[in-house]
Structure 1
Amino acid sequence: MTSITAPLFADNPVLFVQWLRDVAPYVHTFRDKTFVIAFDGELVEQGHLEDLAYDVSLLRAMGMRIVLVHGARPQIEKQLSLRGKSSEFLNGIRITSSAALNSVKEASGALRLSIEAAFSQGLPNTPMAGSDINVISGNFVTAKPIGVLNGVDFQHTGEVRKVAHDDIIKQLAMGNVVLLSPLGFSPTGEAFNLTNTEVAAAVASALKADKLIMMSDQAVLDENGQWVSEYNAVQARAAAESLALDHPLRPWLQAGYTAVENGVARAHIIPSDLDGSLLLELFRHEGVGTMITTKLLETIRPATPDDLGGILQLITPLEQNGTLVPRGREKLEAELPLFSVIEHDNYILGCAALYPFEEEKMAEMACFSIDATAQGTGLGSRILKHMEQRAKAEGFKHLFVLTTRAAHWFLKNGFIAGTVDDLPSNKQSMYNWQRKSQIFIKKIV
């Protein structure tokens, strides 16, 4: 953990100012928003509780309303071991005997005290300095027994029946952080062991929270082992159902799509072992986890006049370093109908223009640009595919590009090297021999 007095930007105050400006829009957007944050007991075992408390305190200081839902599996295992008992699971769900329930109560109680203590720190020269945060726990979750499934009695294992959302809202309105354990109580006073993922999804749904954020040591990967940055609810459900019933990632995905389907704006699965992952997910556009929404936030579409500022912001640095030919605002505005943009969550991350050469049935893809923060995520390939489809739909047979720095990328994506003589005649006359751009051509199929 880095002290707040550490001169992180001492050698580059400009970087600090730019960082602060970049973060400011998120602070405005998230003020008075409700976040439900779920984490496993493993996070505490691995020594990350203090850092989480620092980050949550920072969010609360910015005006965000926070509900925490903790898990306790490793702590329960320790309590059972002390009693000489072993765990019983079926399809990843604990069968909670009377002895196991006592272990659940003790583990959850001790863990709750540790979490409350972490938020009570006020040491100078730490992120908690000057903080005054009240953590409130209570019987906000009513539970019922799972009962007998496939001939197995789950005993004191339960599921959420109801959430006292009005009471939670009152606590949040008073500025308190609400802390929930994986326990629920019946109207008759019985206690039931719950999963923190189900509690988190149920609470987020009842509150119509703005975000459900789940901290997991399980990364969401596709069939090729590549990190998945975004799912819609349908994709998240399919991904969950493709996993074994006892796979540790399955309940996180289930909680994510369940919450989104019940009115939560967005769910996030972020790495619990990455220091600051909560802040990185919230305050960097590209994030560090997997976001689940009702529909994908990425669109590729024709540019509109409202996109002019975003395109200029994207291409100006590349024009300044010589990667792109300077256009100027007026020229760009006139050529805007030729542009397509890739937008994610109302943020322009890439663009390209299609210049037609009707006589030769060729089109030039120019002003091809990807935001630096999104490079390496496949956006370039998606824009290229879109531009190829545009060219094909408009009757062109070949797509060509001129580049000074991206030769290998275009070769990798099916282009072949060409010469000036291969260009349309009008383009040949405009070729800039001083730039000596390399020429690559691709047949449209």
Structure 2
Amino acid sequence: MSDYVKWFRHSTPYINTHRDRTFVVLLPGEAIAHPNFNNIVNDIMLLNSLGVRLVLVHGSRPQIEDRLGARGLSSRYHQDLRITDSDTLGCVMDAVGSLRIAIEARLCTLAGQGSRLRVVSGNFVTAKPIGVIDGVDLHHTGEVRRIDRKAISRHLDDESIVLLSSIGYSPTGEVFNLACEDVATSAASALEADKLILFGPDTGIFDAEGRLLRELKPSRAQSLLAALGNSLPGSLLTAACKACNAGLRRSHIISYAEDGAMLTELFTRDGGGTLVTQEPFEKIRTATIEDVAGLLELLHPLEEAGVLVRRSREVLETEINQFTLVERDGTIIGCAALYPLDEHSAELACVAIHPDYRHGGRGDQLLEHIETQARARSLTTLFVLTTRTAHWFRERGFEPSSVARLPQQRASLYNYQRNSKVFEKSL
């Protein structure tokens, strides 16, 4: 029970962050067929109840294959695109229509009595034919031409869940079979969504040594795509990179087989799958007044233990411009302050890293950043006063010093009762 309470409390910032945000969620046909799909639907319902604006895009590849097999038809592909002739199109329409009804029914069943949940689907996707490639006519295989952003946004404003399928329509009434990844990325781009969430068979994307990649930039993904080929993970990674390159801030690849994978990814600091982003997941930046609450939360345990001098909210608000932060997915996990003492020296103070992140070299990165700042100001000496972390600073080039070496203004404020050791480093 204590773990649950702790998790729930830690999820509060994410609940606030995600409210009123637009998420596009891709559910491939494999996900819908998996026994864990009921749990995924429950999690979708939870997101809806927390105020997330949801657009669901569902695929249907395995269901189409089943219908083709039942009719004695074979699948034909060219350049990894299904050739959708008239007979195949009938199977596509049958599979997509059945899945749409099944998903709507599942959502309505789990909504519970008295719920205002509405699931809306319709002709939101305008498509065009891909045409002939290398002399091969792809018939009714198409690509997204336009997403009806205004219509979808109106339904989202009305707190409805919008359901899109892998079928699109032309202005002349033709029906086209689309790749669900194309629909999802096009919808995310048109809606300027905050997130694209892609369900796949694995926890996320793995490197050649089998290690889960927690964060991935599109530039690095190219080497992985060659190994993944035309697999579902490869298609999902391609879609995530496409969305990212089109301006979407974040795409998440998670497992449809793991219960609670979406909640873990969205409501915990480290997530559970692979994040594809152009933005650094973790960054060092200058603090602003909006960071005071996060700083108080980070510093309080260290102040209680006597490692750091206690700073009130008022003091932090006054001195906030002196602080540099390490931010991870919107949460402050490290900080340091640089206080100028005179034209040649400054004091490095309030160096803190969250206990969960003290073994990743973040303290060194923060110190390097502070020293770069100090050199840019033409400072030549850094002082630090510490009671518990003398060895850490000694290992990074700080030498024992004394109160007498401090500039007079700082020396006059020295707390002899605290008896901090003084170190200095030449820059």
**Considering the TM-score relative to the shorter chain, is it more than 0.5?**
yes
Q: Which of residues 204, 221, 235 in structure 2 aligns to 1:239?
A: 221
Cα RMSD between the aligned structures?
4.5
Any idea what SS the aligned residue of 2:168 has?
strand
* Cα distance in 2 for residues equivalent to 1:396 and 1:225: 46
1:308-334 CA distance string (max 9 Å, x none): 443222111123245x23333377678
Cross-structure match for 1:255: 239
In structure 2, C-alpha distance between the alignment counterparts of 1:133 and 1:200, rounded to whole Å: 22
* Equivalent of 1:162 in 140, 146, 149: 146
Per the alignment, residue 265 of structure 2 pairs with 281
Query: For residue 424 of structure 1, what is the amino acid of its counterpart?
Result: S
Instruction: Show the 5 A alignment for 1:284-433.
Output: 284-292=268-276, 295-296=279-280, 298-304=282-288, 306-322=290-306, 324-329=307-312, 339-344=323-328, 347-353=331-337, 367-372=350-355, 379-380=362-363, 382-387=365-370, 389-390=372-373, 416=395, 422-426=399-403
Q: Which amino acid aligns with 1:368?
A: V
Offset from partner CA, 1:270-308 (integer Å, 9 cap, x none): 333332233333333443344455644644234455544
Q: CA 1:98 to 1:402, structure 2 compared with 1: closer, same or farther past 3 Å?
A: farther
> Alpha-carbon deviations, 1:29-60, whole Å to 9, x = none?
523x4322112122122212211221222222
Out of 185, 190, 195, the residue aligned to residue 206 of structure 1 is 190
1:186 aligns with 2:177: no
Which residue among 29, 33, 50 is the counterpart of 1:45? 33
Matches of 2:149 and 2:316, distance apart in 1? 51
**Secondary structure of residue in 2 paired with 1:119:** helix
For 2:237 and 2:425, locate their aligned partners in 1 and report how far apart those are by CA, in whole Å.
40
What amino acid sits opposite 2:400 in the alignment? Answer: L
The yes-or-no answer on 1:220 pairing with 2:220 is no
Alignment deviations for residues 171-196 of structure 1 (CA, whole Å, 9 cap, x no partner): 33444322222122333443322111
Percent of residue pairs identical = 39
Q: Does the aligned pair in 1 maintain the 2:397–2:425 contact within 8 Å?
A: no
**Residue 227 (structure 1) shift:** 4.5
For 1:140 and 1:399, the matched residues in 2 are separated by 62
**Residue 177 (structure 1) aligned to one of 156, 161, 168:** 161
Distance 1:431 1:144, change over 3 A: same
CA, structure 1 residues 384+86, in 2 after alignment: closer, same or farther (shift >3 Å)?
farther
Assess if the C-alpha contact under 8 Å between 2:15 and 2:50 holds in 1: no
1:239 corresponds to which letter in structure 2? A
Distance 1:100 1:376 in 2: 55
* TM-fit CA distance, 1:256: 3.3
Separation of aligned partners in 1, 2:385 and 2:208? 33
Aligned to 1:3: none
Q: Does structure 2 conserve the Cα–Cα contact (< 8 Å) formed by 1:49 and 1:115?
A: no
Correspondence for 2:43: 55
Distance 1:435 1:377, change over 3 A: same
The aligned counterpart of 1:25 is 16
- Contact (CA 8 Å) 1:237, 1:253: kept in 2 or not? no
2:37 maps to amino acid = L
For the structure 1 residues 185 and 352, does the alpha-carbon distance in structure 2 shift closer, same or farther, using more than 3 Å as the test? same
Tell me the secondary structure at the aligned position of residue 278 of structure 1. Answer: helix
Deviation at 1:198, TM superposition (A): 0.5
**SS of the counterpart of 1:326?**
coil
Structure 2, unaligned runs of 5 or more: 407-413
What is the letter of the counterpart of residue 30 of structure 1? R
The alignment of Structure 1 onto Structure 2 pairs a total of residues equal to 415
Q: Is the alpha carbon distance of 1:292 and 1:49 closer, same or farther for their aligned partners in structure 2, counting shifts above 3 Å?
A: same
Change in 2 beyond 3 A, CA 1:97/1:432: farther
CA deviation map 1:1-40 (0-9, x unaligned): xxxxxxx56x987x588457545523xx523x43221121
Q: C-alpha separation between the residues in 1 aligned to 2:12 and 2:299?
A: 20
> Residue 93 of structure 1 aligns with which residue?
81
Normalised to the residue count of structure 2, the TM-score between the two structures is 0.76
Report what 2:411 is aligned to: none
Q: Give me the whole-angstrom Cα distance separating, in 1, the residues matched to 2:390 and 2:167.
A: 56
Q: Distance in 2 between matches of 1:226 and 1:443?
A: 41
Give the match's secondary structure for 1:220.
Answer: coil
Inter-partner Cα distance in structure 2 for 1:328 and 1:267: 38
Cα distance per residue 1:386-434 (max 9 Å; x no partner): 2454466566699989685897xx69xxx84999xx5124499999999
SS of the aligned residue for 1:192 comes to: strand
Residue 70 of structure 2 is matched in structure 1 by 82
* Structure 1: runs of 5 or more not aligned: 1-7
- In 2, the alpha carbon distance for the partners of 1:85 and 1:442 equals 76
